[in-house]
Amino acid sequence: MKTLVQMLVTLPLIAGVVTACDTTATRSEASSTPASAAMNSEKSAKEIRGASPYVGIENEPAPKLIGDPPLPDLLDQGVVWIQWRVENVHIAPVFGKDALKVSPRLGHLHLQVDDLPWWWADPSNVNTIDMAGLPPGPHKVKISLVNANHEHFPGQSKIVAFTIPEGATGGHGHAE
């Protein structure tokens, strides 16, 4: 089985990102101070960020989707921010049946608003769904975690329901 890294390093774009990360790492090391030794008691990188994608995972646990209620900040302007996270799936813009063979597992989100017959895919891994211009009243957003071949992971769809207050202005800080 190919690892995720073996698959991704073939992409020139990703190579550029890796280069940028290398630069950051060097800079970070150069600025290390003795005070950073006090951070040893903090949780490890692996504990917080999960396993390394350089190593394939045998019997990877089932994927899981967590979706928060919308942030209240701009609901009264018709702006909906829904934070989400996943476990045991790497969200990436990699698609197709061959991508089902890699480990760690790949996937992305499908998003559907108010039972409309269409949805859109979000492989960005930005941790917040951002929508604007929703009219006042009740709404719901269905977030589905899908594999790289666009098939739903069983049980990993969440419906986030919310209400845009009357008088919402529908703004997003953009001028038409």
Which chain residues interact with Cu ion by CB under 5 A?
Answer: 121, 150
Asked whether the beta carbons of 147 and 101 are under 8 A apart, the reply is no
**SS3 of 103, please?**
strand
Residue closer to Cu ion by CB (options 150, 172) is 150
Residue closer to Cu ion by CB (options 99, 160) is 99
Residue of closest CB approach to Cu ion: 150
Structure tokens belonging to residue 31: 């600025």
Least distance to Cu ion, CB of residue 91, Å: 11
Asked whether the beta carbons of 53 and 4 are under 8 A apart, the reply is yes
Residue closer to Cu ion by CB (options 8, 146) is 146
Distance CA 86, CA 131 (A): 20
Least distance to Cu ion, CB of residue 17, Å: 22
Least distance to Cu ion, CB of residue 153, Å: 12
Least distance to Cu ion, CB of residue 147, Å: 8
Distance CA 87, CA 70 (A): 20
Residue closer to Cu ion by CB (options 67, 107) is 107
Residues in contact with 23: Cβ distance below 8 Å, sequence separation at least 6, in sequence order = none
Q: Beta partners for 164?
A: 137
